Every structure is written in structure tokens, then in C-alpha cells.
Amino acid sequence: MACASCSTGTGGSPAGCKNNGTCGTDSCNKLTVFDWLANMSLPNGEAPFDCVEVRFKNGRKDFYRNTENLSLSIGDIVATEASPGHDIGIVTLTGELVKIQMKKKGVSPKGHEVKKIYRKASQKDIDIWSKSRDREEPMKVRARELAIALKLQMKISDIEFQGDASKATFYYTAEDRIDFRQLIKDFAREFNIRIEMKQIGFRQEASRLGGIGSCGRELCCSTWLTDFRSVNTSAARYQQLSLNPQKLAGQCGKLKCCLNYELDTYMDALADFPDFETKLHTEKGSAICQKMDIFKGLMWFAYPENFAQWHVLKIEQVKEIIAENKEKRKVTAIEDYAIEAEAPEKEFTNAMGQESLTRFDQPKKKRNRNKKRGDRKETADAGPRPPKPQGQRDNREPRENRDGQRERQPRPQGQNQGERPEGDRNRNKNRNKKRPDSRRRPGDENKGNSNEPKA
């Protein structure tokens, strides 16, 4: 069976929906109902139900009446009533299950709002429908450019063509009210088609576009969720979650719908807990609750004088202390009821043998001082150093004291204040000598041979 939004190629084979989706997930099979009554025959004299369920682009479904008594089955492409003209859709459900779905959606089978099916779509209808679907993406790009040129604070998220290519519906999102009268004129002049603007919410936009959530799976709103219930921050508080907007918000920018999934379970578990604002009165003072573990049934209390030290109590012990306080009696201390918190077991093992991620954060190794210390130790073990002859200067550099000043070396005996040692005189003589060629710097060869006058 071809995908609901697939266009038909040559020979009646599906040409693909061209939205990078799959036929098993996303809006192609959103809330597909299995007809478990298909193999059951109706009782004698019972006429089959004359309404069918038809699906259009992005999971939009509606109910239509089969007034022509056509032989329809799931997957048939039909031409349905629209205003103006007709639309092309695919039958997704027939028979008695349609009556149950209409009752669930609150649609009356005998109401006048149920439109009718004209006929089964011909090949010409399918070709026109396929060509109009191919125009949607280029039109969306151009429509966004026209909206930006008019400086309108809106986002055009999707375009849906009617089956007969006589009308196009532009879905957009905006924070405030938008005056798009001039924009409609530009669209009609640019695309030469009937224009209809429809504003949708941010959750509906995410359901139409689809995507991958933080859990690693496809978005619930684009796969199976149809009704968007309001989500409050109190749902995160009851579940002891951090009130971080970046973690609690989904791709639509609103609070995640999955915050309501486990809320009932947490509410049932919190029914047995004392109030979080409850204080335990003891002879050492009043203890205030700091944290609670809902599924383990534990509560952490601390004294105002020492908030850093927490004491773990079970719910039964907390209720016992509260009962004593109601009798206007104080317990000695909450330490008498506290239990030792179990340390979490580390079950993770590095099976891949990878190195630590913080290996680059370690400071660089300093020079090998241990080797120098070992040499000094060997010298000390060898014995005392021999006495230094008079007049010989120590070659070691002077060390700095605590104030950052260099220590003055003791002057050798027999040397006057203005007299230099003989080693220093020879060193100064060697400095005045011409350096050998091997020690010359680059460019020194041309210094002496240059005939240019000096500045």
C-alpha cells in the first residue's frame, strides 16, 4: 500500500512522499487504526455504515459521507467535497469503526457538517495533485522571502495545496496579531492562486514539521499525540525536577508534553508523604525538610544552626515524630531516628579501556628536580666538601632571599674592596676579542664590507 502522502508515479507505483519520512512512523501513519472488524460480516438486513475516514497531508483527518455507495477500502484515493472545488485524500478507515471514531471526536453521523465523497480519484486527478505537491517547497521559500521583505514578525511553517490545485493554505506562527492584507496581495500576484492564511500554535507547528526529541526518539506530537494538554511548572516540581527552562522545554519552545505522563504516579506516591513544609520540633531545635526521595520513602532534615549536616529519616519515623509534636511533646533529637544513607554502588566499568577525559587538564610536568635532589644526596653521602682555596670564586649563581634580593657572596681573604680577582680580568680580555666565524650572527658578514655611508 502506498504512503498516504505519496504521489503516484508511472504505472501506478508510488513515487515517494518526498518529505524524508517513512510510511511506518511520523504523519504518514499517525494514529493508524487496525480494522479488526474487516473479516466480520454484518447481520442480515443491516446496511453498512455510510461514512469513511479520509486523511490528507500531515495527518489531517476528516469524516465524509459515501452518498454514491462506492465500494471503498483502506488505501483508496478519493475526491472529496471542498470549498471551492474538490480535494484529494486517502481512505484510512471504513465500516463500523468509523462510527466509534466519530463518537470519540464528537461528530454526529447525521449532522450537516459531514461532507460527501464525489468519486474515486482518476489518473488525471492524481497527476494534478502530484504536481501541486511538488510546488509546495519552492513556494514556501519564496513566501518567506516576501514576508521578510514586509518586515512581518511571523514564520510560515508549511503550505498545503488543495487536491485540484485551486487553493493553497499557508500555515504560520506568530507571537502577536499580524496584519497580512498586503502579504496576501503579494502572494496572489506572485503565485496566481487562491490564498488562505491559517495561524497555528507552536505545538501544532512542531507536530507538522516533526523532529527528534531529547530522548532520542521521534516527537510524540508528530507520531501519536493529537490533543495538547496544558503543562505547568508544578508538574516539574512534583517530580523533583530542576526548573531549568532549557531542559524542560521541547523543540516548540513550550514545556514538554511528557512531563504529564508520569505525573499521576508521582501524585499517588506523594499522597503518603507529609507536607514538605512540615517542621520537626525537638529539644535541640526545629528541623526543616531539605529533600525527599519519593520512591524510596526517605526525607532529609537539618537544623537551622547547621544546614550542612542532613539526617535521613523514613516516612514512618517522620510521622511518628509529627504525632509526638501534636501531643505537644518534643523528641530528644532527630539523630535518634536517623538512618545511615546507603552509598550508591558504582556499577560502571570502563570496558573499552579508554583514558580519562581529564587527562589534558593536568598541569605540565616541571623540570626533573628529583634527579638533582638525588645528585645532591649522593654528594652529601660521599662526605663533606673539600675546603675552597683562597682567592677562588664560587661559580654558583647567588640565591635570592625571601625579600627577592640576591645574597651577597663573601669576599675572599686578602682581597681589597676595589681590586678584582685575576679570573675576572682574564674574562674581560676574552670579551674584547673578535668572535670566531662560527659564532657570528646572520648578517654580520656584510656589516664590515658595506660601502654605504653610515647615518
Q: Which residue has the cell 499517588?
A: 268
Q: How high does pLDDT run on average in the chain?
A: 78
Q: In the structure, what pLDDT confidence band is assigned to residue 182 with cuts at 50, 70 and 90?
A: very high
Stretch among 182-186, 191-195, 269-273, 438-442 having the lowest mean pLDDT: 438-442
pLDDT of residue 20: 46
| Mean pLDDT lowest among 74-88, 182-196, 438-452 | 438-452
Per-residue confidence at 43, pLDDT binned at 50, 70, 90?
A: confident
Rounded to 10°, the helix 123-134/136-149 angle is 40
Q: What's the full length of the chain, in residues?
A: 455
Q: What is the rounded average pLDDT of the residues 241-269? A: 90
Does residue 422 register a pLDDT over 90?
no
Q: Looking at domain 131-206, does it have CATH number 3.30.1490?
A: no
- The predicted model gives 298-313 an average pLDDT of 89
413: cell is 681573604
The phi, psi pair for 161, rounded to 5°, reads -85, 145
Q: 12-23, pLDDT tens digit by residue?
A: 444 555 544 445
Say if residue 40's pLDDT is above 90: no
For the beta carbon of residue 182, count every other beta carbon within 10 angstroms. Answer: 11
Mean pLDDT value across residues 283-310: 88
Cα-trace Rg, the chain: 43
b (16+ CB within 10 A) / e for 387-419 = eeeeeeeeeeeeeeeeeeeeeeeeeeeeeeeee
Per-residue pLDDT for 388 more than 80?
no
Higher pLDDT, 382 or 293: 293
Grouping H, G, I as helix, E, B as strand and the rest as coil, residue 290 is strand
Which cell goes with 407?
645574597
- 88 pLDDT band (50/70/90 cuts)? very high
Residue 401 has pLDDT above 70, yes or no: no
Q: What pLDDT was estimated at residue 5?
A: 45
Sign of CA dihedral 204, 206, 210, 215: negative
Which H or E run contains 413?
none
Nearest to 46 by CA among 100, 98, 96: 96
**In 199-291, which residue ranges form alpha helices assigned H by DSSP?**
202-209, 220-223, 233-238, 245-248, 263-270
- State the pLDDT confidence band at 412, using cuts at 50, 70 and 90: low
442 versus 4: the higher-pLDDT residue is 442
Query: For the residues 114-127, what does the mean pLDDT come to?
Result: 93
What's the count of helices (H) and strands (E) in the chain, helices before strands?
13, 14
Q: What angle do CA 379, 383, 389 make, to 5 degrees?
A: 90
Q: How confident is the model at residue 90 (pLDDT cuts 50, 70, 90)?
A: very high
Q: How far apart are CA 64 and CA 392, in angstroms?
A: 115
Of 40 and 212, the structure prediction assigns the larger pLDDT to 212
User: What's residue 364's pLDDT?
Assistant: 64
Q: How many Å apart are CA 243 and CA 237, to the nearest integer?
A: 8
Each domain of the chain, given as residue ranges in start order, spans 20-34+46-121, 131-206, 230-271, 273-336
Contacts of 243 (CB under 8 A, 6+ apart): 233, 236, 237
Q: What's the grid cell of residue 168? A: 493553497
Lowest mean pLDDT: which of 109-113, 152-156, 347-351?
347-351
Give strand pairing partners of 281.
286
Q: What is the pLDDT of residues 203-247, one digit of tens each?
A: 989 988 888 998 999 899 888 888 888 899 999 988 988 888 888
The greatest distance separating any two alpha carbons of the chain, rounded to the nearest whole angstrom, comes to 140
pLDDT at 4 over 50: no
Higher pLDDT pick, 53 / 431: 53
> In this structure, what C-alpha cell is assigned to residue 181?
492584507
What pLDDT, on the 0 to 100 scale, is given for residue 33? 75
The whole-angstrom separation of Cα 368 and Cα 379 is 18
Q: Residue 96 — very low, low, confident or very high, per pLDDT cuts 50/70/90?
A: confident
| Cβ-based neighbour number of residue 232 at 10 Å | 12
3-state secondary structure 131-167: HHHHCHHHHHHHHHHHHHHCCCCCEEEEEEECCCCCE
Share of the chain above pLDDT 70, in %: 68
